[in-house]
Amino acid sequence: MAYSHYGVYMEQNLSLFYGLSFLTVVIAFAFALYLYLWVKKMKVQNQRIDEISKLIKKGADTFMNREYRILGIFAAVVAVIIFLILPQPIWEGQILSNLSMALAYIAGTVLSAIAGKIGILVATLSNGRTAESATKGIKSAFLVGFRGGAVMGLLVVGCSLFGVAAVLMITGDTTILLGFSFGASSLALFAKAGGGIFTKTADVAADLTGKVELGIPEDDPRNPAVIADNVGDNVGDVAGMGADLFDSNVAAAVSALVIASSLAGGELNNISMVFCYLLLGLLASVVGIATAKVGKNGNPTHALNSSTYVTTAIFLVLTAIATAIFPGFSWRIWGASSVGLLVGVIIGITTDYFTDDTKPIVRKVAHASASGPAFTVLSGVSYGFISALPAMIGIAVSALVAYKLCAPIGDGYAIFGIAMAAVGMLSIVGMIISNDAYGPIVDNARGLAEMGGLGEETIRIADELDSAGNTVKAVTKGFSIGAAGLTVISLLGAFMSEVNEALVEAGKEIITGFDIMEPTVFFGILIGAVVPAVFSAMLILGVDRNAQRMVVEIHRQFNEIKGLKEGTSSPDYDKCIDIATSGALKELVPAGLMAILMTLAVGFIGGPEAIGGFLLGNIVSGLLLALFMSNAGGLWDNSKKYVEAGAEGGKGSEAHKAAVIGDTVGDPFKDTAGPSINTQITVVSLVSSLCAAIFVALSIF
Amino acid sequence: MAYSHYGVYMEQNLSLFYGLSFLTVVIAFAFALYLYLWVKKMKVQNQRIDEISKLIKKGADTFMNREYRILGIFAAVVAVIIFLILPQPIWEGQILSNLSMALAYIAGTVLSAIAGKIGILVATLSNGRTAESATKGIKSAFLVGFRGGAVMGLLVVGCSLFGVAAVLMITGDTTILLGFSFGASSLALFAKAGGGIFTKTADVAADLTGKVELGIPEDDPRNPAVIADNVGDNVGDVAGMGADLFDSNVAAAVSALVIASSLAGGELNNISMVFCYLLLGLLASVVGIATAKVGKNGNPTHALNSSTYVTTAIFLVLTAIATAIFPGFSWRIWGASSVGLLVGVIIGITTDYFTDDTKPIVRKVAHASASGPAFTVLSGVSYGFISALPAMIGIAVSALVAYKLCAPIGDGYAIFGIAMAAVGMLSIVGMIISNDAYGPIVDNARGLAEMGGLGEETIRIADELDSAGNTVKAVTKGFSIGAAGLTVISLLGAFMSEVNEALVEAGKEIITGFDIMEPTVFFGILIGAVVPAVFSAMLILGVDRNAQRMVVEIHRQFNEIKGLKEGTSSPDYDKCIDIATSGALKELVPAGLMAILMTLAVGFIGGPEAIGGFLLGNIVSGLLLALFMSNAGGLWDNSKKYVEAGAEGGKGSEAHKAAVIGDTVGDPFKDTAGPSINTQITVVSLVSSLCAAIFVALSIF
């Protein structure tokens, strides 16, 4: 690095942004602590609610502890491997780099784990309190639910900004950041895919034995799987979602930083800009969260959406101001990030069109159900496929526009523009997570209000809160999918930067792209494209196998525990939680390993070109399948609810039976496989970037 | 072209191969005529069989005539458009080229139509005769069924070789050949996708009203949809399949020829080599067909497979001899084509593993059905996804090996190697079609034997013939999918040749590839990838809508025709056939237009680079979805049959009901959407190649 006068200025500038980042993190953490204490000071007076909340919390802890124990072993092994061979084999490179990389990896897992733990803590703390607050009206109940979720949102984003800034400030090496990001991804894979298997295992087993075999209602405490089922909601939706978005957020930041550092001439400025956008996003989320409230008879959907729009507007204004103030911050990049945000909103709206029961698609699927379950499935699959169209076009257009906007700045800025579009979109992730975590909290609160006998008016309020959670989910999901799409594209850019660094060190010619017509690239594309399909299939089959195991255990308990059927003795809830836990982790490992081993195989056979193709194929088919599965799943779920609300003959009709079958098919689509595909893509992208130098040195072709 | 001494030799050589091609076509046609007369001279003595055969034939004619009428209008419009703007706008280029292109297009549609017509003729001629022959034993019955199919196989391949050779000999311009290929594709789109909608419309409507509502058995003559249902088998499996393979075969030959003509220095030699491989493939098929027979108690599966292996071996030996004799025929290219064949066989074997009921996968899905239909669907979807893995790896590896083998020959030969791998694989397509057409003939024969009351022993023999048809289907399907995969890759190569020709004419720099990191390419990839998903969804929804229309008509007939329920008066079969026909064509057009308009939109927005990406995305996700849908559909079908044979409680059990639902979901997957995707890919590839010059001139970016 040349230390010209301007260089010194840029150095100072970067230090300024490190400082501002840490300051923002402190503000966010302090605000989160305030919200946490605010929620905690409410008292839970209803005995039954308190009891059930505690059972759910205990179950979630069982899963988390078990998961973290296995993850600890896994992370230790990976850390040792990283220490030995990354970024370069220890016998060839510098031991300090390898040690930093291994430590950064561990830091990534630990910070993500903390975010997940806190999420569960807050969610299980807030659900009962939200239920109780609902007795006093919607205003306070909304605040309890929303602020509970906001604690998680602020902590996830705060942790990720803190981690990224600290690792880069200490090491000054963006390649080490990839290790940090890989740590976050490892954990996200366990949390999201493992949690997804857990939750659907319990759901399916509880339904199969309880509703179908024994004819006892859902949530009946005699069913040994019932607590596991409730735990699953928290484990999958709260902890899993938190780890997933922590991962996406870190990956977006890291890929932008890796690309920024490769831009000759403007490295420091660009790195400063990335941090500037990240911290302003967190700040905007703090303001957005602080302003969220509903009036006495207000509309919670409106409150959630308007605080999202407030956050978005604040972010756009603040980044515009920053662009105006700091020389070297480009308006083109600001434009790229704004386009990203806009497209995120559009994707949200179109997703909503396919999964909202006030729109025609859900009703068509409900109507098709009247002809039998095959038509529920066929129409859901068809509309699920079609639903991918607007999102894919949106991602394609935003990538194209971001690229074209930023290409004139200079070499390499085009792909940096795409990365910044992803960063911009994910900058308001604090708000997004708050809205997302609000969903399961008020969902649980509704169940608790019913079980605790809080009366009809309270249940009505809880229902309204719950329904708002479902509605905003579509918009937040749009952001997540759009951001994930752009992030993985920029991860492809980050991979190319890493490959070229390795090629330069090896004294070879750098590559300027990946040509489809190159056979190794094409080879990689075909294999990369099939991996998300196989990965999804393995997770879905894993849910099925694991559910069968739990069914066996439930049968055992009913046979061996006397008085269980009569309700005079209690089932062994922990045993079911334990089965769901160990089974989930057992089923997850082969799927994760398959994806990683395929990456390594393609890399060793075809070298970096093949991996470029592999990542592309993986991204394209991964996005398509993730959109298809998530949206089809949501569509079936809402069609079932629509029928249950009285359409097509209502509950108990043939249409209802068919809709239930559609919903059961959709469950592992939308809660296990669909949302795990993003993590799978991130994991293989990071493995590729980390192993870039090895592929350069050792590939066959 | 420089006419050196060697050049003159090459010219003579090419004339020789044109001559040999026409000679081979004459041999094949003569042999087909012999087989046709051989089948025809058998007499159908059973009155009932004769009657039903004729009804089926009449229905098929209704569909074909209606389809050809619409296709005629469509083709006329397209021919006019082609005349006006292709290969160059008529006001800029030469009128003769445009006229040739339009005429070549029409020739493609007409030859394909003839092949389809003859297929229906022979199939409806052979099914009754096969049934009657079965009374005399398996030996003669097998021959009747097989030779009926062989007539179609020989004619399809003969027509395609004749058309390609004639068009190229007359015009001397490979670009005009693209018009011929596009004609074949247009018709294949109507025949395959339209036939696919027809057959499933009738199937679903017949089942819904007959079995479910009225409780009358399948194939009951009181059901107005019953003849439409039988017609559907012929229209979808025979005519559709014939047009589809005609299309693939022409596309493979044409893309190889387009690429060959772009290879500086060896054009004529390479063109000669393509024709040499094509004609030797047809010759090998003639020999293979002539040798096919079973002993008195022989095994028909064995007979079918061994004649495929005989054809393969003869082809390999003949092409090796040709390579040894003719200077300039490269052993490397022979190697590429051999690798293609080998991989085709491997794909066939792996497909078989996923869909054969003696293998574990079908049994696992049957077992999952015992837990309810959601598990039938989930396990089928999962294994369907996994089944794509070996085929995708096979296609990827064969493309890589073919490319690497041929790259050392010179610039551009690598992609020519891939094209020749596809040509090699499709060269034995005469044999493949014979085996494929054998399937529906013996399937119909089995039904006719039952309806004609030919006795148990005859039905047993027909059953054995039918089962052999199902088993070899897996292997032939492997060839088709593998060949389609390689063909579309070489179509991508052909597109690049066309683009470069246009760029040279426009005085612009040629492109050497499509870089993933280019935003326009990436934009195209994302959009191209989602098109097959939307296309499939539109076809599936089309089946559903069309079936609903037919159900209305069936209800009308039962209400208005007196004595229909009692069997004292006949239903109006033609009305149902008419609804299936017009509905199929109505539902097909928007799907086909969507694919074509998306191609044009991407081309006009992003230019040739975006189209390169678009084709890649289309190929990759198209192959993945086609494999998934075809295999999942086959898997569900065979799981149902496995349960019906007594597993998991057998007929009438809960597992059976679930398996039937799986089969209903799988029907439009495997018979409508899955097999139409290949045609969709071919159509957009050819549209792209044809419009290459326009995209070069007029795109926005």
Question: Per residue in A89-103, pLDDT tens?
Answer: 777 767 888 888 899
Q: How many Å apart are CA B310 and CA B312, to the nearest integer?
A: 5
How near does any CA of chain A get to the CA of B449, in Å?
31
- pLDDT tens digit string along A375-387? 999 999 999 999 9
Could you tell me if B331 lies within 8 Å of chain A, comparing CB atoms? no
Which of A471, A433, A455, A431 has its CA nearest to residue A131? A455
**Contacts with A, B 398-457, CB within 8 Å:** 399-400, 403-404, 407, 414-415, 418
Chain B, nearest residue to A393 by Cα: B527
Chain A, nearest residue to B664 by Cα: A374
Residue with tokens 């063909």: B487
Query: Pick from B382, B415, B525: which is nearest to A537 by CB?
Result: B382
- pLDDT tens digit string along A304-356? 888 888 888 999 999 999 999 887 788 998 999 999 888 877 787 788 888 88
- Cβ-based contacts of B372 with chain A (< 8 Å): 212, 661, 664
Of residues A13 and A623, the one with the higher pLDDT is: A623
Check: CB of residue B380 under 8 Å from CB of residue B667.
Answer: no
CB-hemisphere CA count at 13 Å for B609?
22
- Cβ-based contacts of A657 with chain B (< 8 Å): none
How near does any CA of chain B get to the CA of A385, in Å?
5
Interchain pair A527, B396: CB under 8 A: yes
Q: How many Å apart are CA A62 and CA A56, to the nearest integer?
A: 10
Q: Which of A522, A598, A618, A667 is best to mutate for the B interface (most B CBs within 10 A)? A: A522
Annotate A525-557 with three-state secondary structure.
HHHHHHHHHHHHHHHHHHHHHHHHHHHHHHHHH
Chain B, nearest residue to A381 by Cα: B537
**Contacts with B, A 465-494, CB within 8 Å:** 489, 492-493
Q: Which of A530, A654, A676 is best to mutate for the B interface (most B CBs within 10 A)? A: A530
Q: How many Å apart are CA A109 and CA A176, to the nearest integer?
A: 14
**Contacts with B, A 180-219, CB within 8 Å:** 208, 212
Helices B519-560 and A573-644: crossing angle in degrees, nearest 10, is: 70
- Tokens representing A243 are 């780890």
Tell me which H or E stretch contains B490. helix B456-505
What residue ranges of chain B have pLDDT lower than 70?
1-10, 93, 212, 217-219, 264-267, 296-297, 474-475, 477-478
Interchain pair B537, A404: CB under 8 A: no
Instruction: Say how many C-beta atoms besides its own lie within 10 A of residue A248's C-beta.
Output: 26
Q: How many Å apart are CA B595 and CA B74, to the nearest integer?
A: 16
Interchain pair B516, A377: CB under 8 A: no
Check: CB of residue B417 under 8 Å from CB of residue B406.
Answer: yes
Percent of all residues in chain A with a pLDDT value above 70, rounded to a whole number:
96
Query: Pick from B399, B536, B665: which is nearest to A385 by CB?
Result: B536
Interchain pair A395, B526: CB under 8 A: yes
Q: How many Å apart are CA A641 and CA B683, to the nearest integer?
A: 41
- Alpha helix (H) residue ranges in B326-428: 331-355, 360-369, 373-406, 413-427
Torsions phi, psi for A219 (to 5 deg): 65, 20
Interchain pair B414, A377: CB under 8 A: no
Instruction: Say how many C-beta atoms besides its own lie within 10 A of residue A34's C-beta.
Output: 13
Q: Which of A398, A400, A497 is best to mutate for the B interface (most B CBs within 10 A)? A: A400
Q: How many Å apart are CA A458 and CA A442, to the nearest integer?
A: 12
Query: What pLDDT score was predicted for residue B435?
Result: 85
- Residues B236-255, buried b or exposed e (16+ Cβ, 10 A)? bbbbbbbbbbbbbbbbbbbb
Using only the alpha carbons of chain B, give its radius of gyration.
25
Query: What pLDDT score was predicted for residue A8?
Result: 61
Strand partners, B515: A515
Strands (E), B71-137: none
**Contacts with A, B 40-99, CB within 8 Å:** none
Query: What pLDDT score was predicted for residue B399?
Result: 87
Query: Pick from B372, B620, B668: which is nearest to A529 by CB?
Result: B620
Could you tell me if B382 lies within 8 Å of chain A, comparing CB atoms? yes
Query: Pick from B393, B523, B616: which is nearest to A400 by CB?
Result: B523
Query: What pLDDT score was predicted for residue A474?
Result: 63
Interchain pair B374, A664: CB under 8 A: yes
How near does any CA of chain A get to the CA of B382, in Å?
4
How near does any CA of chain B get to the CA of A251, in Å?
19
Check: CB of residue B576 under 8 Å from CB of residue B553.
Answer: yes
Name the band, by pLDDT with cuts 50, 70 and 90, for residue A266. low
- pLDDT tens digit string along A496-511? 888 888 888 888 888 8
Name the band, by pLDDT with cuts 50, 70 and 90, for residue A10. low
Task: Compute the count of residue pairs across chains A and B with CB atoms less than 8 Å apart.
Answer: 219
CB-hemisphere CA count at 13 Å for B309?
7
Q: What is the average per-residue pLDDT within A635-662?
A: 88
Query: What pLDDT score was predicted for residue A361?
Result: 92
The alpha carbon of B325 is separated from its chain's Cα centroid by a whole number of angstroms, namely 34
Q: Which of A624, A628, A685, A699 is best to mutate for the B interface (most B CBs within 10 A)? A: A624
Helix (H, G, I), strand (E, B) or coil at A469: helix
Could you tell me if A542 lies within 8 Å of chain B, comparing CB atoms? no
Which of A292, A287, A291 has its CA nearest to residue A318? A287
Instruction: Say how many C-beta atoms besides its own lie within 10 A of residue A700's C-beta.
Output: 9
Residue A127 CB partners (closer than 8 Å, separation 6+): A53, A56, A148, A441, A442, A444, A445, A448
Q: In the predicted model, is pLDDT for residue A475 greater than 70?
A: no
Query: What pLDDT score was predicted for residue B219?
Result: 66
- Residues B354-388, buried b or exposed e (16+ Cβ, 10 A)? bbbbeeebbbbbbbbbbbbbbbbbbbbbbbbbbbb
Could you tell me if A590 lies within 8 Å of chain B, comparing CB atoms? no
Annotate A126-164 with three-state secondary structure.
HHHHHHHHHHHCHHHHHHHHHHHHHHHHHHHHHHHHHHH
Check: CB of residue A581 under 8 Å from CB of residue B489.
Answer: no
Interchain pair B537, A385: CB under 8 A: yes
Q: How many Å apart are CA A57 and CA A448, to the nearest integer?
A: 13
Query: What pLDDT score was predicted for residue A616?
Result: 94
Model pTM?
A: 0.90
